[in-house]
């Protein structure tokens, strides 16, 4: 699938409201669930198109009704490929071609020792219906169609050209011919968004269900979560997440939190670890089902142990604050904040710095605290910028540097950090780290007061009698900007 087509799929993924808890209030906070496809088109199709080899996993009953054979195991085949053994006698599954599903003189080779050993001992658990000649012929036909078919490519070309009527026709053809999950996904989005047709959520739900209700091998088909690409989706996961979103927001249908929670659980079954994070948040506030801190902990832990940083952060918060059924555990909280910080979670990085700074949950170590403050500050965390600025201002552990302290206070102040607003006002009024500027200092004290800083009112009272007309003009320019004409 071309990059441009992939981009279209991601744009259509749209925003998804996730559950959050802040100060005990139930609310929905926006998160973006979008990401790269896990390989795009079925790799079996790509293999067939290049080599005409018949993939067992792309067959029909061959892949799901015959008993296990080591010579056809995906791990065995991958091992042989790595060592250049594609033409080994034990590689019957790889040699089968769709142009000759029953073999030919050109491709037939003696049976392998593995296959002979398997056939020598009857399998008592083998299904009564095996991989018959008709199954091989059917699979060969599908493979041949996959190599020749252009309907999916034509559908994406039409979609990119915004010819949605033609795109819908070709996506339907692609689904009817080979059951491409990508085609069903796009048809669901077309009906949901009303692209070239009337909006029809019922139709969209039906197309998404065709994907989620398809045959699913919990071992071979479950996606492997990669913490380096946490937003990566398979088509099956994408469909489940879309179903969850529709039922949560009530887009074109009745809002149903319990159904949304069920689809998040289905996405987790398909291997999407961020769904465990969302389910954990739902369990914490009782959204769409039972409220359970213990259940939230298990869900967060499941994703955190797979390297999902937001889940590790939520797990740490749960251990730090405690909940119904989850006692407070500062040491475990500190350990999980560190894990999330190592994975690049900015809020966890700042929290770990605070724990080192105060010696709560982590050993008292201001040197390490400084390192974590710096890391979070460089990523734009306002509280970390303010904390790092105080180190430079006081000359604590590092050389005093007023100019750097002033820059950091200003960076944090512009992000709405109340203490930084006040501290910047102090430095401006005293000419610390730069020139004196009473007008700008007055403006920052005013903003700090509006943000709830307790000492700002006293500072305003002290500085106001000193203001000159030009100082008031600068303050007014900041506090009362004139609209652009």
Residue 48 pLDDT level (bands cut at 50, 70, 90): very low
Residues sharing a CB contact under 8 Å with residue 305, sequence separation 6 or more, in sequence order: none
Largest CA-CA distance found in the chain, in angstroms, rounded: 102
Kindly report the CATH number assigned to the domain that includes residue 463. Answer: 1.25.40.10
- Calculate mean pLDDT across residues 87-109: 52
- The per-residue pLDDT for 332 is 97
Residue 63 lies in a domain: yes
Residues 52 and 127 in one domain: yes
Whether 164 and 28 map to the same domain: the answer is yes
Rounded to an integer, the average pLDDT of 110-133 is 51
Average pLDDT, the chain: 81
Task: Quick: pLDDT tens for 56-74.
Answer: 444 444 544 344 555 555 6
**Per-residue pLDDT, 146:** 77
Residues 58 and 105 in one domain: yes
Task: Count the domains in the chain.
Answer: 3
The residue-averaged pLDDT of 14-18 equals 36
Residue 237's CB: how many other CB atoms inside 10 A?
A: 27
Look at 441 and 121; give whichever has higher pLDDT.
Answer: 441
What number is the average pLDDT over the span 263-286?
97
Do 462 and 388 fall into the same domain? yes
Residues 76 and 222 in one domain: no
Closest CA to 416 of 453, 457, 388: 453
Whether 95 maps to a domain, the answer reads: yes
pTM of the model: 0.75
User: Where does the pLDDT of residue 149 fall: very low under 50, low under 70, confident under 90, or very high at 90 and above?
Assistant: confident
Instruction: Write down the pLDDT at residue 302.
Output: 97
7 vs 56 pLDDT, higher one:
56
Alpha-carbon distance 314 to 337, whole Å?
9
Do 77 and 224 share a domain, yes or no? no
Query: Given this model, what pLDDT does residue 381 score?
Result: 98
Task: Establish if 425 belongs to a structural domain.
Answer: yes
Question: Which pLDDT value is given to residue 248?
Answer: 96
More confidently predicted of 96 and 483: 483
Band of pLDDT at residue 21, cut at 50, 70 and 90: very low
- Which residue, of 113, 148, 183, is where some domain finishes? 148
Q: 302 lies in a domain?
A: no
In a domain, 266, yes or no: no
Residue 209 has pLDDT above 80, yes or no: yes
Q: What is the percent of the chain with per-residue pLDDT over 70, rounded to a whole number?
A: 72
- Please give the Cα distance from 97 to 133 (Å, whole number): 14
- Short-list 44, 46, 47, CA closest to 58: 44
The pLDDT assigned to 482 comes to 78
Co-location of 465 and 416 in the same domain: yes
Question: Are 76 and 114 contained in the same domain?
Answer: yes
Of 201, 303, 242, 321, the residue nearest 12 (C-alpha) = 242
**pLDDT reading at 429 higher than 50:** yes
The pLDDT assigned to 143 comes to 74
32 and 47 belong to one structural domain = no
Using the 3D structure, point to which of 108, 132, 148 is the last residue of a domain: 148
Over residues 439-481, the pLDDT tens digits come to 999 999 999 999 999 999 999 999 999 999 999 999 999 998 8
Give yes or no: residues 140 and 169 share one domain. no
* Residues of the domain holding 472: 380-479
Whether 194 and 53 map to the same domain: the answer is: no
In a domain, 30, yes or no: yes
Identify the pLDDT of residue 130: 52
27-36, 130-139, 327-336, 438-447: range with lowest mean pLDDT: 27-36
Q: What is the mean pLDDT of residues 117-122?
A: 51
List Cβ neighbours of 214 (8 Å cut-off, separation of 6 or more).
179, 181, 236
pLDDT at 93: 45
Residue 323 lies in a domain: no
The pLDDT score that the predictor gives to residue 217 is 81
pLDDT given for residue 108 in this prediction: 46
In DSSP notation, 76-127 reads: HHHHHHHTT-TTSTT-HHHH-BTTBTT--TTT--PPPHHHHHHHHS--TT--
Q: Is residue 311 a part of any domain in this protein?
A: no
Check residues 170 and 88 and name the one with the higher pLDDT: 170
- For residues 169 and 226, membership in a common domain is answered with yes
- Residue at which a domain ends, from 148, 183, 218: 148
pLDDT in tens, 350-394: 999 999 999 999 999 999 999 999 999 999 999 999 999 999 999
> Using 50, 70 and 90 to split pLDDT, how confident is the model at 4?
very low
């Amino acid at each position: 699938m071309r990059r441009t087509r992939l981009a279209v799929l991601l744009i259509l993924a749209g925003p998804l409201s996730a559950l959050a808890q802040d100060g005990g209030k139930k609310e929905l906070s926006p998160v973006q669930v979008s990401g790269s496809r896990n390989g795009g088109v079925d790799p079996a199709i790509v293999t067939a198109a290049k080599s005409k080899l018949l993939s067992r996993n792309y067959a029909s009953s061959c892949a799901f009704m015959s008993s296990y054979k080591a010579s056809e195991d995906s791990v065995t085949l991958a091992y042989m490929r790595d060592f250049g053994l594609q033409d080994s006698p034990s590689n019957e599954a790889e040699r089968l071609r769709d142009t000759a599903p029953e073999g030919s003189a050109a491709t037939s080779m003696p049976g392998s020792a593995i296959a002979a050993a398997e056939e020598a001992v009857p399998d008592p658990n083998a299904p009564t219906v095996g991989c018959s000649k008709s199954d091989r012929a059917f699979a060969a036909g599908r493979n041949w169609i996959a190599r020749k078919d252009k309907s999916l490519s034509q559908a994406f070309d039409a979609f990119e050209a915004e010819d949605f009527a033609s795109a819908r026709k070709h996506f339907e053809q692609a689904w009817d011919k080979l059951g491409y999950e990508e085609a069903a996904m796009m048809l669901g989005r077309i009906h949901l968004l009303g692209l070239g047709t009337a909006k029809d959520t019922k139709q969209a739900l039906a197309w998404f269900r065709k994907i989620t209700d398809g045959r699913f091998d919990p071992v071979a088909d479950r996606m492997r979560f990669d913490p380096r690409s946490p937003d990566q989706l398979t088509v099956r996961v994408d469909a489940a997440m879309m179903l969850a979103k529709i039922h949560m927001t009530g887009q074109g249908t009745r809002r149903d939190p319990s159904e949304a929670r069920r689809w998040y659980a289905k996405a987790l079954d398909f291997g999407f670890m961020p769904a465990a994070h969302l389910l954990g948040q739902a369990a914490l506030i009782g959204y769409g089902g039972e409220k359970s801190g213990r259940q939230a902990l298990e869900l967060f832990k499941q994703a955190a142990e797979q390297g999902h940083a937001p889940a590790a952060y939520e797990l740490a918060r749960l251990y730090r604050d405690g909940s119904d059924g989850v006692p407070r555990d500062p040491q475990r909280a500190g350990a999980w904040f560190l894990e999330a910080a190592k994975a690049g979670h900015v809020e966890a990085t700042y929290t770990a710095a605070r724990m080192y700074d105060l010696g709560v949950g982590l050993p008292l170590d201001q040197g390490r605290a400084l390192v974590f403050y710096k890391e979070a500050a460089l990523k734009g965390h306002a509280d970390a910028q303010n904390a790092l600025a105080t180190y430079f201002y006081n000359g604590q552990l590092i050389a005093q540097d007023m100019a750097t302290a002033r820059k950091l206070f200003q960076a944090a102040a512009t992000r709405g950090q109340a203490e930084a607003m006040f501290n910047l006002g102090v430095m401006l009024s005293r000419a610390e780290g730069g020139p004196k500027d009473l007008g700008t200092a007055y403006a920052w004290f005013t903003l700090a007061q509006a943000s709830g800083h307790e000492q700002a009112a006293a500072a305003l009272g002290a500085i106001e009698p000193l203001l000159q007309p030009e100082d008031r003009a600068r303050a007014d320019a900041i506090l009362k900007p004139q609209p652009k004409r």
